[in-house]
Amino acid sequence: MPPTKAPTPGRNPSGKSPARQPAKGRPTRTIAPANPRALSLGGRGQGLTNLIRDLRGEIRRVIWPTPRQAINMTAVIVALSAGLGAFLGLVDFGFQELFRVVLQWAGAGGY
C-alpha cells in the first residue's frame, strides 16, 4: 500500500481552496439589479419606449450645476488647458533647441 500524504493546512483533501464563508453574525449579501424590470423584446418598439422612459427618469435625478458653478468649472478647465499647453510648448521648444545644438555639434549643420 503506497504512503498517503497529509493534507496541506488550509486546504481540503481534494486540493481546492474552501469557499469563502461570510463573517459570523453578518448576513450574506447578494447583488440584485436596481431595476429588476428588463427591456421587453416582445412588442414592436416596446424596448425602445422603455429605454427612453428610463433615460428621462435618470436625467431628472441628475443634480445639475448652477449656471455660476458651470461658468467657474469651465473657467478652471480653460485656464488649466492653456497652462498645460504653454508648458508643453516650452518643453517642446527646449527639446527642439537641444537637438539642434546636438546635431550641429555632431556635424549635421544643414539641419
For the chain, 111 residues long, the average pLDDT of each consecutive 10-residue run is 61 58 63 58 71 92 94 98 98 96 80 54
CB count within 10 Å of CB 20 equals: 6
Please report the pLDDT score of residue 49 as a whole number. 87
Please report the pLDDT score of residue 45 as a whole number. 64
Please report the pLDDT score of residue 13 as a whole number. 57
Please report the pLDDT score of residue 74 as a whole number. 98
Half-sphere exposure of 51 (CA within 13 A, CB side): 7
Please report the pLDDT score of residue 84 as a whole number. 98
Listed by start position, the domains of the chain span 67-111
Question: b/e for 48-73, b at 16 or more Cβ within 10 A?
Answer: eebeeeeeeeeeeeeeeeeeeeeeee
Please report the pLDDT score of residue 65 as a whole number. 94
Report the length, in residues, of the chain.
111
